[in-house]
Amino acid sequence: MAASANKLYSDLAIVVKVGTDLNGKDILKKSTLGKIALTAADQDVYDVVKGIELVLNSPLSEIQKIDHNTIVNA
């Protein structure tokens, strides 16, 4: 039997650059928004985050969509 994953929910994490340390390395801050719609298309998520970026005081570094699944043996 093959195992399969059942998607439970997705979280959205927005990573922004808030500065640099003494060695010139980026200092990043991550904010997580919970349980975005399972049906949200990747492009839609990207577009929303790019809109949010307009009101942030820091440049966007990364967009993470984190899927949570259960794995069952089908």
For residue 35, the model assigns a pLDDT of 86
For residue 15, the model assigns a pLDDT of 97
CB 32 within 8 A of CB 13: yes
Please name the residue that has the structure tokens 């440049």: 59
For residue 13, the model assigns a pLDDT of 97
| CA gap 15, 61 in Å, rounded | 5
pTM reported for the whole predicted model? 0.80
For residue 34, the model assigns a pLDDT of 87
For residue 14, the model assigns a pLDDT of 97
Spans in the chain with pLDDT lower than 50:
none
Sign of the dihedral through C-alpha 30, 31, 37, 43: negative
